[in-house]
Structure 1
């Protein structure tokens, strides 16, 4: 943390320079005219309206630098935040002309009329907060599907009416509050496609039918209640209407335990049910035959006792042998059933177990495209029919188990088998139970006698390593803004693993190969085969098996075999270096340098008179050289020799998010 002070000072200086440059720019003419109309429509007084001399200095209006059609810089309106201003006007259709608007927050005013349909033209809008006004009418259909970047939608405490059919596909929506309105009808089934939704409030809508939510969404164990009228569920605990846990970014382990406890019969029930058997008198033991005569001879008695003991011993041995054979048979039957059991499904993207029935067929993979091969097996691509006629594309990793009996395995085969089984278990225990937009989720696990199948969502753009290799070969482009977005996404994923999830999870093998890119070039951390959960009371994990990849492993791990979250930070620092430098630690370039290491070479170049020579030549001349040098400084902080001086993932994510490109 101590190393972050000079960095923050540098960021502040950089921001001041950008602000000084922004003051010399003028507001884009269409934005100027549209903003004036919007302010007049809201009912702002003349003193509150647009200042012709300083258009972006108006209270509640925020502008940022953008390039216009002539490739020159102008100011564009990006935020309007007018809370508790006693505005009593309307929201003008001119709002749709502010195409760079990211936030429109007008809470706690007295606005009337409806939401104009033109707001759908604000394609970059991320926050729409109209809470506590007097708006009415129906929400325009198609608004959410047009505002694909929307993360927060708060329409609570108004007089909106009509149905909720405007709730269509919105992949990034995290907070949705429709409380205290006059909505009616059923909650639509399209809500299940809102993969990142974590807050959903529909309380205070007396005519809204929550029942429609249950058959569609109540399909995943461990769930949270949907708030209906009066903000609480109207059903008993065991009948509570629920939203699947896939809508919760940070899972609550208490919820899962409560759900499990609700399903299991109570101890009192079990004890009462078995009262007759548990307290019934036991049958009298069968004793060895005794002499019929009370006064037999002593020798005769002794002989009878000896014969009885011998007979009992022989019968006991025989019974024990038969029981052991019977027990082994039962164990084999149980194991066989486990091997042939159905798939374990962790996501509603897999609608039903029958969708994965092809994995049970011997030649089920023969027609599938092989998209990758690794140390654990091959990866196949498969398309499944999804909702609304869309296709869901899956990536299926096949992990083969040796067919030989464990006693016949060589030591090397045995180690390989144990490693694969550990990785399968680690994957299921981590990504099988967590959800975050920057983590690749495990959708299902299918067990077969000869192999295991791990099912994931297919990532169209492959891995970061593949992408950078193609960029180096000249067959693909990856500009700096895309690289910065990838870095920020990985940092957010690490922050969730290290800071927000309980227990903490250490990835232990963070590298470009394990960072996948989705359709929007959003980073997804993948391959949790080496991941370890760390109890909150512990500071590290001690391992006997070496984990990680050369070039990305923290130096302290080699000597201590203790893995902490700061080891992941070191690996992330190397990844940041790779993103800016455009080279991998294993490249021949570093073998020919005096340092023979990406980290040492990066540190030496950053302290030289010309640090810009560390930047990938393909990125030079884009105007973002200063921002790239800031990222390299963060990479140097992450790869410091002393792990205590490395920043944590939350600090890193904050530093990366402060780097602006306006």
Structure 2
């Protein structure tokens, strides 16, 4: 019976994992539209606490406050927007009408003014509540004649009720002066119960089918244990079981591979693709065809077991589309190996100024997209629900690019949880890389998220200039990228620091926003630096400006117009001294000064 109990437990676990294994992404068009909605609302609602929380993916890992999402063709779409009782002012955001999958819209009990934007006839809206606002004009026919609309609340508005269209009184549309009934017709109730019953039956059938598939897979894995030489698969799978709050959105699977399996996947470590402080990185291919990067700890590594355990524990709990995921590990015969998905476009450093064989000219929109992706990944770390995580080694070589040039932050060997109340807030060893290291962290040993912000500011300067953070082969005043760039920015001469490869290929306003963010990030004192969430918002603004400008310039150029040009504008920033940065990767804190 005990063996049967174990089989049942494994079967249930397998079913849960199969149901929630993959983390879906939000439809790109939906992301663009809801981002436009956010910016339209923020114009007159800068202090809105709800809008301040809107960052990252709108549906994953958890939907933004006020949003509800559903899966459609393996991507998430927005189906409900509820911003009632949020003290929002100004006109209704026109971009709301572009949310083509929106079913429920509730903007009641705010202070919205102006007229109601026109929704397309293809809208799938079923419920609209605009009551208790200051909206004016008529309830126009296109809204009341939407084919799926069953509830429309518009009371307590100075709206004109004269000449309301006939469709307003149709039997399946519930309306009134803010007194909409929550109940539909008896036929609607019957349809709902029939739908629930049908949906429940379908769900049971799906679970039963998945259970059979999982049981079959379990038996296959049991049989494979008798043929290790032919199929040297993983010994076992280690699952970080998520909380019930998160189980719908993510389930992280980290596999334990055998050493033989790793050697087969890499063809005995045939293709070396990189080296770091931990060890060498090799390219490999799993039996299912997935390409992987296999990081093998060197016998002479100074980081060793601590970094291995750190990365394994952290990536077993955290996953985000802009963080490199950990697929598996191997700890056998004193070998410590980590397995990640292969990033076909290398690192940001490679693309900007790496070896000639790896270098690739990146246009400004691509650079801006990479910066935004990396910022979102760091924001997720800093706002992780369990406990804030500080990366401690943010640099361009740790920002990897997948096949679609999407940025993913990598290498969490130095990462630490942020100090909590009662902690000393100091670290015995100051970790980081020369050129990126926060001077305040180095001098005080006080670790905070603002240390990552400083390093990210240096990365932004790399993206803008195409230069490395430290290069002693340049003239003395150009050794440090930070110290070289600051005077040019303060004197409004950003053309002198912009990479020649993107000259004339950017919108001035978008560039200035990124430059100003970079300058704020590299403030010597952490109190004057923004948080990563604020940086994401600024970069999103710059990205929208750049994209809109690109579309406009395409239309101009199609009629033989001139190319885009850039302009300068003054910027006033207080002069603040910055300590000289250290030149080693691992640095001990400075000795205490004698009194």
TM-score by length of 2: 0.54
CA pair 83-369 structure 1, distance change in 2 beyond 3 A: same
Does structure 2 conserve the Cα–Cα contact (< 8 Å) formed by 1:246 and 1:347? Answer: no
Q: Is the 8 A contact 1:158 1:180 kept in 2?
A: no
Unaligned runs of 5+ in 2: 1-38, 45-90, 108-115, 129-143, 150-171, 173-188, 216-236, 549-595
TM-fit CA distance, 1:216: 6.7
Cα 1:576–1:469 change in 2 (3 A) is same
- What corresponds to 1:247 in structure 2? 250
DSSP 3-state at the match of 2:127:
coil
Instruction: Tell me how far 1:631 sits from its aligned partner.
Output: 0.4
> For the structure 1 residues 423 and 474, does the alpha-carbon distance in structure 2 shift closer, same or farther, using more than 3 Å as the test?
closer
Counterpart of 1:373 in structure 2 is 275
1:424 lines up with 2:424 in the alignment: no
The equivalent residue for 1:347 is 253
Distance (Å, rounded) in 1 between the aligned partners of 2:385 and 2:98? 33
Report if the CA contact (8 A) 2:477-2:483 is conserved.
no
The answer on whether the counterparts of 1:83 and 1:105 sit within 8 Å (CA) in structure 2 is no
Contact 2:274/2:281 (8 A) holds in 1:
yes
Give CA deviations for 1:542-570 in whole Å, capped at 9, x if unaligned.
22334111000011222222322111110
User: Which structure has greater helix proportion?
Assistant: 1
Cα 1:380–1:625 change in 2 (3 A) is: same
Could you tell me how far apart the structure 2 residues matched to 1:437 and 1:79 are? Answer: 23
- 1:578–1:537 distance in 2 versus 1, CA, 3 Å: same
Q: 1:539 and 1:599 mapped to 2: Cα distance?
A: 32
Q: CA deviation digits over 1:102-129, x for unaligned, max 9?
A: xx77351696589xxxxxxxxxxxxxxx
Per the alignment, residue 478 of structure 1 pairs with 362
**Separation (CA, whole Å) in 2 of partners of 1:217 and 1:489:** 35
2:498 pairs with 597, 602, 615, which one? Answer: 615
What is the aligned partner in structure 2 of residue 151 from structure 1?
none
2:291 alignment counterpart: 393
Change (3 A) 1:245 1:105: closer
**CA spacing shift, 1:224–1:481, aligned 2, 3 Å:** same
Partner of 1:468 in structure 2?
352
**Contact 2:325-2:341 at 8 Å conserved across structures:** yes
- Distance (whole Å) between structure 2 residues aligned to residue 477 and residue 471 of structure 1: 13
What is the alpha-carbon distance in structure 2 between the residues aligned to residue 576 and residue 159 of structure 1? 55
Q: Does 1:570 align with 2:454?
A: yes
Match of 2:533 in 1: 650
Kindly indicate whether the alpha-carbon contact (under 8 Å) linking 2:351 and 2:359 is maintained by their aligned counterparts in 1.
no
Q: Kindly tell me: are residues 474 and 504 of structure 1, through their superposed partners in 2, closer, same or farther at Cα, counting changes over 3 Å?
A: closer
Alpha-carbon spacing, 1:488–1:360, altered in 2? closer, same or farther (3 Å): closer
Instruction: Tell me the alpha carbon deviations over residues 575-598 of structure 1, each in whole angstroms, 9 at most, x when there is no partner.
Output: 011111111112357x41536421
1:626 aligned residue: 509
> The residue matched to 1:385 in structure 2 has which SS?
coil
Note if contact 2:457-2:522 (Cα within 8 Å) is conserved in structure 1. yes
Instruction: Work out the CA distance in 1 between the residues paired with 2:265 and 2:365.
Output: 44
**Superposition map of 1:256-271 within 5 A:** none
Q: 2:477 maps to which residue? A: 594
Could you tell me which runs of 5 or more consecutive residues in structure 1 were left unpaired when the two chains were aligned: 1-10, 17-57, 64-76, 96-103, 115-133, 135-156, 163-178, 188-206, 227-242, 249-345, 402-412
| Correspondence 1:450 to 2:330 | no
RMSD: 4.4
Distance 1:91 1:532, change over 3 A: same
C-alpha distance in structure 2 between counterparts of 1:474 and 1:617, whole Å: 18
Find the aligned partners of 1:475 and 1:638 in 2 and give their Cα distance. 27
The yes-or-no answer on 1:358 pairing with 2:260 is yes
Name which structure has the greater RCO, CA cutoff 8 Å, separation 6+.
Answer: 2
Which one has a bigger Cα radius of gyration? 1
2:352–2:359 CA contact under 8 A, matched in 1: no
Deviation at 1:527, TM superposition (A): 0.6
Are the aligned partners of 2:471 and 2:480 in contact in 1 as well (CA < 8 Å)? no
Residues of 2 paired with 1:620 and 1:516: CA distance? 25
Matches within 5 A, 1:474-553: 476-537=360-421, 541-553=425-437
Matches for 1:49-60 after TM superposition, within 5 Å:
none
Displacement of 1:474 in angstroms is 9.8
Task: State how many pairs are aligned.
Answer: 376
Q: What's the CA shift string for 1:127-156, capped at 9, x where partnerless? A: xxxxxxx9xxxxxxxxxxxxxxxxxxxxxx
The change in CA–CA distance for 1:225 and 1:586 in structure 2 (over 3 A counts) is closer
